[in-house]
Chains A and B, each alone.
Chain A
Amino acid sequence: MSLHIVVCLKPVPDPDCYDQVTIDPNTKRIVRENIPMVINAVDKVALEEALQLRDAFGGKVTVVTMSLPSAKKHLLEALAMGADEGILLTDASFGGADTLATSYTLSKTIQQLGRVDLVLLGNESADGATCQVPSQLGEWLGLPHLWNVFSVEPMDERVFLLKTKYENGHKEWRGELPLVLAVSRELVKPRHISAMGIIKAKNKPIAILNKEGVNDLQEECIGLVGSPTQPGEIMIPDMSRSGERLEGSCEEMGLQILEKIRAGGIVF
C-alpha cells in the first residue's frame, strides 16, 4: 500500500509587505503589483507533512494551485522541496472566486486524480485569511475534514490519530482515510530546498489546466459567477492616534508610563 497525497498551495503577496498595499484612487482597486508573491507559509507546513508521510509509507505527493500562469514558479518550488507532480489551475473564468467557488474548483480537480488518500492544506492564507477553504473543500469532496490540526500520528496506513487546537486546549480524533486536513504552523517545520531538489524538479511534470481541463465542471459554480459572496467597496481604515511622546531619563519615562497605566484604570 502507498499513499497518494494532494497538497493545495496558495501563492500570496508576501505578508512582510502588506504595509505597502494601497488602493488606486481612480480605479478603486487594490494595488499590490509591487509586492512579490510567495507560497503561503503554512501551506509549506502541509507540504512538509505530506512529504514525510510519503517517505514513510511510499506513494506520491501532488501539489495543486489555482492562480495566475506566473504561479508555475511556486509549483516548481514545491517540486524542488520534494513533491512529485504539480497541477496549475489557471483560467480567467476562475477569477474572483470566493471560498465556496475556489473549494468547488479544487474539489473537481482532485476528483479527477484517481485514488486520493489524503488532502492537506494550510489552515489559513495570509492575504484573505478566511480559514474557510479547507472545510468547504472537505464538504465538496464528501470527505471527513478537520481544521487546525497540530498533530498527525498514523496508527497504520489507513487510520490516523489527529489533534486539533482550540482556544484553551485541544481535542483528539480518530480518522479513517481518505481525509481532508488543514494544518497549523506548529505541526512540523518545512525543509529548505536543496540544490539537488532544484535539479530534480526540472524533470517533474507540471500540468497546466484551464476550465476545459477539469472534468464535469459546472460553469455556474466557478469564479465570480459561482461565488455567493460578492465584493463591494474597499477602503484603508484609519487606526491612527495622537501619539504623545514621553521624555526624560529611563526612570522618568518609566514613572510616566506607570502613572498612565494607573490613570487607565489598572490597580497594582
Chain B
Amino acid sequence: MKKIWIYVEEYQGRINKVAFELIAKAKELGDAYLEPVEIGAVLLSNNAADSIEVLELYGVTDVYVGENCRLGEYCHTTYAPVLADLIKEEDPDVFLFGATQVGSELAPTVAARVRTGLAAHCVNLRIDEGGMMVADVPAFGGKIIGEILVPTKRPQMASVKPGVFTAKECGLPQASRIHKINLCALDRVDLRLVPQGTFVANTSVKPIEDADIVLAGGYGLGSQENWQKLVELAELLGGAVGSTRPCLDEGWADSEETMIGTSGKSIRPKVYLGFGISGATHHVCGMKDANLVITVNKDQKAGIFGVSDYYAVSDVNEILPVLIELIKSNKINQYF
C-alpha cells in the first residue's frame, strides 16, 4: 500500500494548522491511486492523546506516535534521528512537512539523514501518470515556478508554507490505526548542542496569517510617522499589519514576522490592502491568494495594480489620514 505521510507540528499540545492543510492535500494525492492509500500523520509529543483525536477529525488512516517526555518540545537533535529511523523502518512513499521555521530546519535534516530529495516551499503537489509526485516550486522570488521530482529515492519529500493549501475537516471522526514509533534514537542524541530552557513566546505581534484583513505597507510610505498611521488604521479595522523587506530594513516594521512574500509569510486573508507597495514579484507571491486585493500607490505604473481587484492612484500619505478620519468620525456609516 502506498504511504503518504505528513509531519504534525505540535507546540504545547496544540497542532499547527499547516498539518491539517497537508492532510487535505495528502488525501487528494491519495485519490490519484486506484488502490487504497495510507494517509499517515507522524506526531512526536509528550502527551499525544488529544492530538490523535483531533487528527482523526481530519481523516488520517494511520497515526505514528512517538510519545516521550524528551519529545515535549521540538528540538531537531532529538526529532530528526527518530524520524530518520521511522522512515527507514516504514519506507513511506511521500512525506510532507510544513515550511514553518521548525519544518525549514527539520525537513532538510531528515532528508539528508535518509539521503532523499526534498522540494522546498511547494505551491502545488500532484501525482503524475507514472504515480510519481510532482511538486511546483517557486524560484527567483516566485517569478518562476519549476517542477521538482524525486524519481528514485524515497520518500519523496516536500515542504509547504502555511496557508498554501486549504484544510478540510471530514464530518465524522475516523478511527485510525495507531503505531508506536521506535524511540531507540533518543539513546544516541548528540549532546554537543542542547536547548537552554524552553521556547520563549513573543506575544506582542499579531500573526498576520490569522488575520481576516491585512494592511501591508511598502517603501512608498516613506517614514516611520506614516507607518504609524498604517498601524492606527489597522487597529480601527481590526486587522494586522504586514510589511515588505525595505520597511524592515528601514526599521519601520518591527518584526520579521510581519514580512509578506517568498522569504516571509504567505497569507490568504479576506481582504488585503496594500499601501505604497510597488508590487515586486517576491511580495506578490505572498499575497496573491487574498480574496480581495485593494491597493493605493501614487505611481500610476505600479506593478501592484496589475494584481489588484481595485486600486487608487493616490499619495498614501494623503489617503491614510482620510481613511482614519472617515472611520473615526463615523462618516462612513452616513453613506452606507
Contacts and interface: CB of A to CB of B under 8 A. Distances in A.
A246 B257 contact: no
A191 to B, nearest CB: 16
Contacts, number: 275
Nearest to A104: B112
A151 to B, nearest CB: 12
Interface in B292-310: 292-294, 296, 303, 305-310
A268 B284 CA distance: 26
Interface string B202-216: 110101000011000
Given A168-B201, A268-B237, A255 B117 contact: no
B121 A130 contact: yes
Interface in B71-112: 76-77, 99-102, 104-105, 107-109, 111-112
Contacts of B195: 171-173
Contacts of A231: 146-149
A170 B305 contact: no
B319 A174 contact: no
Interface stretch (A48-56, A113-121, A257-265): A257-265
A168 B209 CA distance: 12
A46 to B, nearest CB: 16
B43 interface: no
Contact of A261 (B140, B196, B294, B311): B294
Contact of B148 (A232, A239, A258, A260): A232
A7 B256 CA distance: 24
Interface residues of A, number: 86
A24 to B, nearest CB: 12
Contacts of A232: 134, 146-149
Specify which of B194, B270, B323 lies most central, judged by the most chain A CB atoms within 10 Å of its CB.
B323
Given A186-B256, A239-B307, A241-B293, A254 B109 contact: no
Interface residues of B, number: 97
A87 to B, nearest CB: 22
Contacts of B147: 231-234
Nearest to A142: B190
Interface string B146-158: 1111111100000
A82 interface: no
B112 A169 contact: no
Contact of B282 (A18, A99, A241): A18
B32 interface: no
Contacts of A103: 112
Interface string B109-136: 1011101111111000000000000100
Q: Is the interface of B mostly helix, strand, loop or mixed?
A: mixed
Given A229-B150, A246-B311, A266-B237, A176 B262 contact: no
B109 A268 contact: no
Specify which of A132, A186, A243, A254 lies most central, judged by the most chain B CB atoms within 10 Å of its CB.
A254
Contacts of B118: 99-100, 130, 132, 229
Contact of A254 (B190, B213, B319): B319
Contact of A148 (B104, B271, B306): B104
Specify which of B119, B199, B318, B335 lies most central, judged by the most chain A CB atoms within 10 Å of its CB.
B199
A19 B143 contact: yes
Contacts of B138: 129
A266 B271 contact: yes
Interface of B: 76-77, 99-102, 104-105, 107-109, 111-113, 115-121, 134, 138-153, 190, 192-203, 205, 207, 212-213, 236-239, 256-257, 262-263, 270-271, 273, 280-282, 284-285, 288, 291-294, 296, 303, 305-314, 318-319, 322-323, 326-327, 332, 335-336
Given A239-B288, A264-B271, 19 more contacts: A13-B140, A18-B141, A129-B138, A130-B118, A131-B120, A136-B111, A138-B109, A145-B193, A165-B101, A170-B199, A179-B192, A228-B115, A228-B117, A245-B305, A246-B311, A254-B319, A257-B273, A261-B213, A265-B291
23 contacts: A127-B139, A130-B120, A132-B104, A132-B107, A132-B118, A143-B192, A144-B77, A161-B196, A170-B202, A227-B117, A228-B117, A231-B147, A234-B146, A235-B145, A236-B144, A239-B284, A241-B306, A244-B310, A254-B326, A257-B310, A261-B294, A264-B213, A268-B327
